[in-house]
A and B are shown apart, each in its own frame.
Chain A
């Protein structure tokens, strides 16, 4: 489908803002309680709304297409809620403002798109090493370099392989609908606080710009440990220090193992994925984010033509649903990974599946969004190969 068709500005989602009841957020500001309001919202705006509803009243960011709706929305609403909005001088400043705010135990967020996220890698590495929570939104666009502004999934490696220097991981959540842009942002804040680790929402230009119905309802609050490590002034306690430098003999390797154990725990407890028509599937599509929407339609079209096709959609890209893929690959021997890049998540799929499972790849580099029919052609090809 032509990319431009999904970028129409039909309704002004701002008109849906009606303040109802107020409750105090953990940062001392006010958060509006809307009950379960159903509105038409842009993906980017859904993220901004979720941040406010999750009690995040600090935002630092820099303009970059295609995510400017996020800072614009927050610049309008944060001041009315007693929050702080800074348009910083760069993404480098943004991630460091975030580091400072997070160190005080306050929920804070930044957003950017691929080139800006590259600039943030140093800060993310520091935050992972210092065990600081934060939420980073990447509405990815095409690269490498200046690339373009069309949707792409070329940041999968950057997001899931740490991205910055050193041995660390980021919690990475990949929404596929505007509702998930909202729900997963909430989850990102909670998981980030739970594990004291940066969390990223990996969206793309398509899902950021499209409008869908959104049920704006605050989910159940997760039970989270108190932030007694935070820097708030050393009154009545010993001073806290937050750092990532470990120079004493053995200190740093011990710290790295500690981080490793965190990531292993995440792998055990925080994997999320969607399985669609997998029960009797003979071919499973592996896809995430916006291309998973297209792939889902293709799977349905394939079913109409009598092919037993299903979809396995990772929602957590880190931790990757290795076990799920492995389990399915004991019975299903055909996988088709569909991505808006030239081959990134397919490596994780190949690593996860049984040795004799065949993993095919259909890639569409940025600027060429496939239609469900085009993906269906690929499915047919692979299905025939599998049968023969």
Chain B
């Protein structure tokens, strides 16, 4: 009997700690599958950020470095500059990347650092208990926007993918979701592409993944999954926003 589906070699065989219905597990798996697909496990270095993704070193069977909150883009750039022939990626949440780390990610993209960033956008601060994030939608209630996000106080949600796609240094920018099989297949392709671009030395790759956070949205797993489709995707449209066909130094 042929084995057609198994745990990726890149994922350590221990249970995830994520909440039921959380999409981090899916995103982690897609990253692991991409690493397995290119057989680069032994030369990949992951940079973990601060948030629900901080335990990446417990799940991925690769060298992993912990970065201070928001700094993973800069840390990963340092790793890549020191070891150019390794594959370096970060996995950052919306608070980590779009709030405290926004300067670092913009300049990492602008310098065209040849790394891959997976941006986990679930419109809320997960690990710390559900505070407002830069990507929290208007009207969304969080523990620090109890009346719903109001643009007169807190501004509008930031669309990171669109912003980074405007930079010359970005080689591949995409936004995906994992809320249904069709979107999941596109997400798998995009994440794989992000690693491929790095291997081809095309420049900076950025894949924004829309994720559900049932616990901090105060929803059931199914409701949260529906919210991705009904509320998040309209504001954060899916698609490939930039894809360089040729390396810019050629």
Contacts and interface: CB of A to CB of B under 8 A. Distances in A.
Given A86-B81, A100-B74, A108-B78, A92 B62 contact: no
A103 interface: yes
Contact of A89 (B43, B66, B76, B104): B104
A319 B207 CA distance: 47
Interface in A208-240: 231-236, 239-240
Contacts of A122: 68
A244 B66 contact: yes
Contacts of B74: 88, 92-93, 96-97, 100
Contacts of A244: 66
A130 B66 CA distance: 9
Contacts of A203: none
A241 B59 CA distance: 11
Nearest to A236: B42
A92 B45 contact: no
A97 B75 contact: yes
Contacts of A27: 82
B34 to A, nearest CB: 16
A99 B63 contact: no
Contacts of A102: 78
Contacts of B41: 234
B65 A242 contact: yes
A96 B69 CA distance: 10
Nearest to A242: B65
B82 A96 contact: no
Interface string A271-315: 000000000000000000000000000000000000000000000
Given A233-B44, A233-B45, A97 B78 contact: yes
Nearest to B40: A233
A60 B76 CA distance: 13
B68 A96 contact: yes
Interface string A116-130: 000000110010001
A309 B43 CA distance: 61
A99 B75 CA distance: 6
A228 to B, nearest CB: 12
Nearest to A94: B74
A240 B62 CA distance: 7
A354 interface: no
B107 interface: yes
A106 B68 CA distance: 19
Size category of the A interface is 35 or more
Interface string B63-101: 111111001001111111111001000000000000000
Interface string A327-367: 00000000000000000000000000000000000000000
B216 interface: no
A51 interface: no
Contacts of B47: 100
B47 to A, nearest CB: 7
Contacts of B42: 233-236
Contacts of B80: 100
A317 interface: no
B61 interface: yes
A126 B61 CA distance: 23
A101 interface: yes
Contacts of A108: 78, 82
B67 A231 contact: no
B62 A101 contact: no
A233 B63 contact: yes
B31 to A, nearest CB: 15
B111 interface: yes
A48 interface: no
A76 interface: no
Given A99-B78, A101-B81, A231 B63 contact: yes
A235 B45 CA distance: 11
A241 B111 CA distance: 27
A235 B42 CA distance: 5
A241 B68 contact: no
B107 A101 contact: no
Nearest to B106: A89
Contacts of B66: 126, 130, 241-245
8 contacts: A96-B75, A97-B78, A100-B79, A100-B80, A101-B82, A103-B65, A239-B57, A243-B66
Given A102-B78, A123-B71, A240-B63, 17 more contacts: A58-B78, A88-B107, A89-B103, A89-B106, A92-B71, A96-B71, A96-B104, A100-B47, A100-B78, A108-B78, A123-B68, A233-B43, A234-B63, A239-B57, A239-B61, A241-B64, A243-B57
Interface of B: 41-45, 47-48, 54, 57, 60-68, 71, 74-83, 86, 103-104, 106-107, 111
Interface of A: 27, 58, 60, 84, 86, 88-90, 92-93, 96-104, 106, 108, 122-123, 126, 130, 231-236, 239-245
What are the 10 closest A-B residue pairs judged by CB atoms, nearest first?
A100-B78, A243-B66, A96-B74, A235-B42, A233-B43, A97-B78, A100-B75, A96-B71, A231-B63, A101-B78
